[in-house]
Amino acid sequence: MASREAVRAAVRQVRPILSADKGEARKRVLNLYKAWYRQIPYVVMDYDIPKSVEQCREKLRQEFEKHRHVTDIRVIDMLVVKGQMELKETVEIWKQKGHVMNYFKETEEPKPTDFLSKFLAGHE
């Protein structure tokens, strides 16, 4: 009983990754959004991708909305760090057109609906 209390107290305080509180984490997220938003016209120009600036901005908004529900500050920091890494690679043109177009590709295969696709997939 006492050990459980001690564990709970120890787990409540964790070392922060970047931000100490929600306000700071929020600032980092909004700054990342701003940086990406401003970079998008140059991405479209440099990589010559077949998407318009509006479509890219929509995709940016979708990517941020994917993690809207996250509340853990360390997870938010980690996502911001990963986003910043992606931004750096995109700005410096270390990526190539395919890497940028990956954002527009769905990562999950849609489930088969018609008979033949289900048969070939094994009647899942």
Which residues contact other proteins by CB under 8 A? 26-27, 30-31, 33-39, 42, 45-46, 61, 64, 87-88, 91-93
**Residue with smaller CB distance to other proteins, 38 or 105:** 38
Query: Which of residues 31 and 102 has its CB atom nearest to other proteins in the complex?
Result: 31
Other CB atoms within 10 Å distance of the CB of residue 58: 12
- Report the nearest approach of other proteins to the CB of residue 13 (Å): 27
Question: What helix, strand, coil percent values describe the chain, rounded to 5?
Answer: 70, 0, 30
Buried-exposed string 13-28: b where 16+ CB fall within 10 A, e elsewhere = eeeeeebeeeeebeeb
Residue among 34 and 118 whose Cβ is closer to other proteins:
34
Residue 98: CB minimum distance to other proteins, A: 20
- Residue 39 is encoded by which pair of tokens? 């970079």
Nearer to other proteins (CB atom), residue 30 or residue 75:
30
Task: Give the nearest distance from C-beta 78 to other proteins in angstroms.
Answer: 18
